[in-house]
């Protein structure tokens, strides 16, 4: 009974965070695509259930003798957003696609999104470390074996998604992409986000930056930045932006599958009268909030907070935009939330703000936006809103696949 109580507490904690961003009426009224219409009445924006892909992968890996490491135990509260394929996707010739880091949370989601969106794949190759080589994994292309990563094998692909550490990306990304025979590399790490000449892309906002550069290496932004900009970009286009202030409430999924596993196990332990340990997070996360994500810098901000500033400026092409961010880790499994205040160049008209959000691709079903209202501090030139999005999808895997659709 106590174990059941622990599981229920975890479930409630995860779902509660996903209910905190009720959509403003005008945003809720956005026209539904046919596939989305059946879901419109659902009271919770994102359903809580084990990912079928992750569950199948764990089952296969256990059968092969794996010990159920944290990287393969991740719970998932996911729903693939109703994002229309990029218009030109029908014209993309089938590609040889490689995913490096398929045993991690983001790697598994990239494999799932490729299949769910029907990306034209002629051959799918799954890469990981030697420890995972030979193990089976369920994909949209059937059951495939994981391969040990090698440069030669990766360069045989047309597109390579990197769901790996920054150190790994620094060592291998340019080697995979360089030269006439190199692959298009879409990197999910922070290794190249701030490098001149490497586009940092949210396709609905600045896909043209990658096309203009004819880049073979494209960086995927930080999850927090990507979720925020889905709402900020259309509002900037409507009213202009003087400054942005935000506080983020980031789920355990931001630390990958090990982070989700640590939260799950710690919550169960505490609900059963024990204590929670911490290896992934700076402090035990269950029933706690931690205003500390990534390392502290000399200016007392964390690196995660500065990532939001740097990346917002680069993606929106506003190099001097003042951005202040406080990032907080919260005890939910998946989906980040952000309270955002914008000082605008032009006076805010709420009806126009709703209309801009309605028209923005990806908002409402991809990134939830609610609590849209004028800000009391900045008056007519201020806007407050609350944003919620799936860190592993909009903030990572889905954005990466959308980049491929836009530029392949």
Domain CATH number, residue 189:
3.40.50.720
Helix (H/G/I), strand (E/B), else coil: 143: strand
Looking at residue 108, the DSSP 8-state letter turns out to be H
Give the per-residue pLDDT at 273: 97
**What residues make up the domain containing 323?**
225-391
**Alpha-carbon gap, residue 406 to 75, rounded angstroms:** 30
**Structural domain includes residue 117:** yes
Q: Does residue 166 sit in helix, strand or coil? A: helix
393 Cβ partners below 8 Å, 6+ apart?
Answer: 78, 80, 81, 109, 113
- Output the pLDDT for position 64: 35
Question: Is 292 noted as a catalytic residue in this protein?
Answer: no
Query: Please, where are the H alpha helices in 317-379?
Result: 350-359
Domain identity same for 271 and 207: no
- Does residue 34 form part of some domain? no
Residues 295 and 333 in one domain: yes
pLDDT of residue 270: 97
- Residue 38's φ and ψ, nearest 5 degrees, are -65, -20
- Calculate the CA dihedral of residues 35, 38, 40, 46 and round it to 10 degrees: -80
In a domain, 62, yes or no: no
333 and 208 share one domain: no
Q: Are residues 321 and 206 in the same domain?
A: no
Task: Please give the sequence-ordered ranges of beta strands (E in DSSP) within 188-303, or none if there are none.
Answer: 217-219, 241-250
Same domain, 197 and 315: no
Please report whether residue 245 resides in a domain. yes
Q: Is the pLDDT of residue 23 over 80?
A: no
pLDDT over threshold 90, residue 46: no
pLDDT at position 16 is 34
| Catalytic site residue from 77, 223, 327, 388 | 223
How much is the pTM? 0.79
Note the residue count of the chain: 408
What gap in Å lies between CA 406 and CA 170, rounded to an integer?
24
Same domain (yes/no): 91, 180: yes
Give residue 103's Cα distance to chain centre.
17
Among candidates 127, 216, 129, which has minimal Cα distance to 174? 216
The string over 340-364, giving b where at least 16 C-beta atoms fall within 10 Å of a residue's C-beta and e elsewhere, is: bbbbbeeebeeeebbbbbbebebbb
* Same domain (yes/no): 233, 365: yes
Residue 391's pLDDT is 87
What are the C-alpha distances in Å from 177 to residues 22, 116, 171?
43, 26, 12
CA 54 to chain centre: 17
Q: Is residue 403 part of a domain?
A: yes
Would you say residue 22 lies in a domain? no
| 221-246 average pLDDT score | 97
Same domain, 253 and 279: yes
Quick one: DSSP state of residue 290?
B
Q: What is the CA radius of gyration of the chain?
A: 21
> At 265, is the pLDDT very low, low, confident or very high (cuts 50, 70, 90)?
very high
Give the integer Cα–Cα distance in Å for 326 and 392: 20
Mean confidence (pLDDT) of the chain:
82
Q: Tens digits of per-residue pLDDT, 364-395?
A: 655 788 999 999 999 999 999 999 999 889 98
Q: Over 90: is that where the pLDDT of 292 sits?
A: yes
Mean pLDDT, residues 185-210 taken together: 95
**Per-residue pLDDT at 27:** 32
What pLDDT is stored for residue 213 in this prediction? 79
In a domain, 50, yes or no: no
In a domain, 233, yes or no: yes
Q: Mean of the pLDDT values across residues 230-246? A: 97
pLDDT for residue 43 is more than 70: no
The pLDDT of 174-200, averaged and rounded, is 95
For residues 206 and 236, state if they share a domain. Answer: no
Q: Are residues 380 and 402 in the same domain?
A: no
CATH code of 326's domain? 3.30.360.10
- pLDDT tens figures, 296-310: 999 999 999 999 999
Q: So what's the pLDDT on residue 366?
A: 58
- Among 266, 212, 249, 246, CA closest to 335: 249
Asked whether residue 275 falls in the same domain as residue 348, the answer is: yes
The burial of 368, by beta-carbon neighbours within 10 Å (0-12 exposed, 13-18 middle, 19 or more buried), is given as buried
90 pLDDT band, cuts 50/70/90, is low
Per the structure, the count of domains in the chain is 2
Check whether 349 has a pLDDT greater than 50: yes
Which residue of the set 77, 325, 336, 388 is catalytic?
336
Asked whether residue 42 carries a pLDDT value surpassing 70, the answer given is no
Percent of the chain predicted with pLDDT > 90: 70
Q: Tell me the mean pLDDT in the region 136-165.
A: 96
Q: For residue 390, what is the DSSP state?
A: -
Tokens 């892309």 found at: 201
Query: How far, CA to CA in Å, does 53 sit from each of 8, 72, 73, 387, 390?
Result: 23, 11, 11, 27, 17
Q: Same domain for 249 and 386?
A: yes
User: pLDDT tier at 92 (50, 70, 90 boundaries)?
Assistant: confident
Reference 246, options 328, 317, 314, 310; nearest CA is 328
User: Could you give the CA distance from residue 387 to residue 327 in angstroms, rounded to a whole number?
Assistant: 14
């Amino acid at each position: 009974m106590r174990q059941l109580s622990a599981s229920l507490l975890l479930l409630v904690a995860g779902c509660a965070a996903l209910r905190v961003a009720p959509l403003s009426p005008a945003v809720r009224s956005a026209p539904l695509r046919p596939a989305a219409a059946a879901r419109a009445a659902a009271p919770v924006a994102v359903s809580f259930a084990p990912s079928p892909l992750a569950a199948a992968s764990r089952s296969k890996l256990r059968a092969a003798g794996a010990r159920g490491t944290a990287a393969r135990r991740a719970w998932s509260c996911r729903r693939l957003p109703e994002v229309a394929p990029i218009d030109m996707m029908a014209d993309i010739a089938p590609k040889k696609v490689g995913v490096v880091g398929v045993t991690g949370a983001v790697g598994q989601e990239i494999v799932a999104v490729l299949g769910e969106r029907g990306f034209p794949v002629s051959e799918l190759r799954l890469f990981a470390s030697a420890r995972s080589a030979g193990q089976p994994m369920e994909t949209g292309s059937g059951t495939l074996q994981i391969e040990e990563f090698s440069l030669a094998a990766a360069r045989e692909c047309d597109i390579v998604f990197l769901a790996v550490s920054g150190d790994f990306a620094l060592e291998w990304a340019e080697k995979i992409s360089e030269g006439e025979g190199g692959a298009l590399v879409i990197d999910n790490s922070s290794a190249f986000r701030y490098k001149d000449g490497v586009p940092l892309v949210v396709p609905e906002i600045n896909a043209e930056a990658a096309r203009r550069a004819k880049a073979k290496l494209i960086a995927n932004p930080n999850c927090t930045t990507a979720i925020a900009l889905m709402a900020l970009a259309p509002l900037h286009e409507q009213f202009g932006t003087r400054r942005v202030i935000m506080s983020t409430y980031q789920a355990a999924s931001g630390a990958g599958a090990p982070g989700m596993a640590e939260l799950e196990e710690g919550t169960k332990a505490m609900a059963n009268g024990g204590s929670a340990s911490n290896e992934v997070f700076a402090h035990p996360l269950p029933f706690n909030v931690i205003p500390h994500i990534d390392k502290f810098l000399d200016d007392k901000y964390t690196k995660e907070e500065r990532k939001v500033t740097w990346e917002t400026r680069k993606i929106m092409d506003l190099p001097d935009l003042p951005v202040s961010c406080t990032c907080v880790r919260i005890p939910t499994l998946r989906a980040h939330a952000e309270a955002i205040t914008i000082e605008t160049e032009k006076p805010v008209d709420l009806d126009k703000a709703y209309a801009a959000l309605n028209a923005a691709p990806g908002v409402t079903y991809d990134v939830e936006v609610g609590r849209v209202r004028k800000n009391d501090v900045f008056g007519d030139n201020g806007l407050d809103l609350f944003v919620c999005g799936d860190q592993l999808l909009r903030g990572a895997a889905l954005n990466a696949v959308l980049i491929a659709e836009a530029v392949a």
